[in-house]
């Protein structure tokens, strides 16, 4: 389906910090250059008829102040909209709330830079358990879907995506993505052992494989 090494290399991953009214937060940033015009990428990211072609079905009002819901995933409120350059929104899953900020920039020569910040409070339980991979691996997968949609003009088949994700190649991609977020976390200043443990939990979650050392000490 894809070249794993090429797709991992196509995305820039960063981990940063930010101070919110709610307290200290961590910022997971994914950015990628797409061979598509700014208006086209904006439409793909905001048109409710196109979003399901590369991401998930969406309902609600995709406008400033509107509520949205991604099928089987997060929902929230669009808090800022600046077409065709970006938008901000809350990212709510049950009682958990984080925030996303999308920015698009025209790079010239028919290319657009996509940059998304996903912001979570430091005390977020998922961050404590999985580190930046808690959201980063999912966004990595989403950016592949956007690339395929923009370059083929076709809708991504969810059944084929699920089949690929469960394949050996899919597991290689998910593992490589988790490892790349481990590196971004260490570059930010996270203790390597702590970052490694979080990345191993992330990989196990996405691939369904045991974490290294899982089961150790269970037999006397």
The predicted-structure confidence for 128-153, as pLDDT tens digits, reads as follows: 899 999 999 999 999 999 999 999 99
Provide the pLDDT for residue 213.
Answer: 52
Provide the pLDDT for residue 218.
Answer: 30
Candidate from 98-107, 115-124, 173-182 with smallest mean pLDDT: 115-124
The architecture CATH gives domain 4-207: 2-Layer Sandwich (3.30)
Q: Where are the alpha helices (DSSP H) in the chain?
A: 4-10, 38-46, 51-54, 125-130, 133-152, 158-165, 168-188, 192-207
Write down the domain spans for the chain: 4-207
The predicted-structure confidence for 1-34, as pLDDT tens digits, reads as follows: 578 999 999 999 999 999 988 788 999 999 999 9
| Residue 216 confidence (pLDDT) above 80 | no
DSSP H or E stretch at residue 218: none
| Residue 215 confidence (pLDDT) above 70 | no
Q: Above pLDDT 70, what percent of the chain?
A: 95
| Residue 212 confidence (pLDDT) above 70 | no
* CA separation for the pair 143, 149 (Å, rounded): 10
pTM: 0.92
């Amino acid at each position: 389906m894809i070249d794993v090494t090429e797709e991992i290399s196509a995305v820039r991953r960063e981990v940063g910090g930010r101070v919110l009214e709610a307290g200290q937060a961590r910022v997971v940033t994914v950015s990628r250059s797409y061979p598509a015009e700014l208006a086209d990428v904006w439409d793909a990211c905001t048109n409710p008829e196109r979003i399901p072609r590369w991401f998930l079905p969406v309902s609600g009002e995709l406008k400033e102040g509107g509520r949205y819901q991604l099928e089987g995933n997060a929902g929230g409120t669009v808090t800022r909209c600046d077409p065709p350059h970006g938008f901000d929104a809350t990212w709510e899953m049950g009682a958990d709330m984080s925030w996303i900020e999308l920015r698009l920039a025209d790079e010239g020569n028919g290319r657009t830079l996509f940059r998304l910040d996903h912001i979570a409070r430091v005390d977020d339980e998922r961050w404590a358990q999985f580190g930046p991979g808690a959201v980063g691996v999912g966004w990595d997968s989403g950016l592949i879907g956007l690339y395929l949609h923009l370059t083929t003009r076709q809708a991504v088949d969810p059944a084929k995506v699920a089949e690929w994700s469960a394949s050996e190649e899919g597991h290689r991609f998910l593992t490589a993505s988790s490892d790349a977020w481990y590196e971004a976390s260490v570059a930010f200043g996270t203790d390597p052992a702590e970052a490694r443990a979080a990345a191993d939990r992330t990989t196990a979650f996405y691939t369904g494989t045991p974490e290294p050392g899982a089961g150790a000490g269970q037999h006397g």
